[in-house]
Structure 1
């Protein structure tokens, strides 16, 4: 599975985790139709779930006139994945994380989601 596909599937799982209190391992099993789980997908879901408090702190410290609760789930989940990749995964270039996050936001969010994601991530890496 390509990383962009793994990111998209991880986004969908993490979006569900944001809505429901479910164990990350169980959420992966419930979502994946095959017996083989992609390693990168699992890394993203587990990593974001494990480090959610620290990741959310990063988001909160870079928001202007927003609270994390006001951010729509699509954008919040997208930011969490990108920040996890930027802060915890050394083999993913920052520019790739940002680009992929903007793509996810454009696909699953509204017309302003990509710009919002790009703006917040630009402040984080500055």
Structure 2
């Protein structure tokens, strides 16, 4: 598994933990790292994603809700929602990650952590979000 994939998977787990125990980002990350091991570069990438999602959550959630027809955020599984949040953050705020990489990573992580329906669900919403975000310069 690549370093960034590992970082995304750890970020998903950290965001899920913060949903279950909303203690604040710094305390939440500190508690999370007590039970996880990762090289420094992966930890840094993970924290960039988690902090980015938390700092931009209102914007991210609004966009997800706009693009997810017939699905409110409350009806989505926490795993699917946090995969969508991570990928939406990357699509909007990470100019260094191509959109197709973000979408593919979201789908692959959904296959591992979500339900049987999660990959198609994630793909459909991320395609809608990606279509509304300006193309990244590469």
Q: Look up the match of 1:26.
A: 27
Shifted more, 33-42 versus 3-12: the winner is: 33-42
Aligned pair 1:45/2:50, yes or no? yes
Distance 2:60 2:76 in 1: 14
Report the Cα distance in structure 1 between the residues aligned to 2:115 and 2:94, rounded to whole angstroms.
28
Q: 2-side partners of 1:119 and 1:36: how far apart?
A: 33
TM-score (norm 2): 0.85
1:7-18 equivalent positions in 2, closer than 5 A: 7-18=8-19
Post-superposition, which runs of at least 4 consecutive aligned residues in structure 1 deviate over 2 A?
33-37
Structure 1: 5+ residue stretches without partners:
none
Q: Give the TM-score normalised by structure 1.
A: 0.93
- Is 2:100 the partner of 1:99? no
> For the structure 1 residues 30 and 116, does the alpha-carbon distance in structure 2 shift closer, same or farther, using more than 3 Å as the test?
same
> How far apart, in 1, do the equivalents of 2:39 and 2:87 lie?
24
How many equivalent residue pairs? 126
RMSD: 1.6
Q: Choose from 109, 114, 121 the match for 1:109.
A: 114
Q: For the residues of structure 2 that align with 1:35 and 1:83, how far apart are their CA atoms? A: 24
Q: Deviations over 1:2-61 (max 9, x none)?
A: 111010001000011122212112222212245975211110010001111110000011
